[in-house]
Amino acid sequence: MPSTSAAVEAVRSLARASRVIERASGELSLADYRMLSAIAEGEGRASRLAAKLALGKPAISSSVDSLCRRGLLLRSRVEGDLRATALSLTDEGRRVLDAAESEMAARLVALAGRTPDSERVLESLAWLGAAIEAVMAERAAEQARA
């Protein structure tokens, strides 16, 4: 088990890394990036986005409104559900997301390249992402049971 001081240093490093990545995100904030990437992964309904991103529905609505006004997202009706709206990336949204991800990945690879084992750093971050997804799925299942 890592020491508390190692965990604190890791937290600080992740906080600094998030700022480096955000600077590389071009015209997207990290919040916009998270929204567009979740939709690109198939989370096209606001209620699922709220759960996946751990945000309230008002924050999702505000973000969706902003991204639609910018021409990055498209709303459409869900057949058979008059209350639901499906969200999808526009061509411009896909272009902006791809450009942001490309630059963000390049910056992360450059940072990892300054470590003794860049491949292990990137692999560990991918594992951390999978762990986060697992925790979120567990929480969603617990809330569904409650």
Helix 91-112 vs helix 118-145: angle between axes, to the nearest 10 degrees? Answer: 130
Check residue 36 and give its pLDDT. 94
Check residue 2 and give its pLDDT. 66
Asked whether the predicted pLDDT for residue 73 surpasses 90, the reply is yes
- C-alpha to C-alpha distances, 43 to 48, 50, 89, 91, nearest whole angstrom: 6, 10, 11, 17
For 8-48, what is each residue's pLDDT tens digit? Answer: 999 999 999 999 999 998 889 988 999 999 999 987 777 77
Check residue 120 and give its pLDDT. 97
| Burial of 72 from C-beta contacts in 10 A (0-12 / 13-18 / 19+) | buried
Model confidence, pTM:
0.84
Would you say domain 6-112 falls under CATH 1.10.10.10?
Answer: yes
> What does the pLDDT average to over 99-112?
95
- C-alpha to C-alpha distances, 21 to 25, 30, 85, 101, 104, nearest whole angstrom: 6, 8, 31, 9, 5
> What does the pLDDT average to over 50-57?
79
What residue spans define the domains of the chain? 6-112
Helices and strands (DSSP H and E) totals, the chain: 6, 2
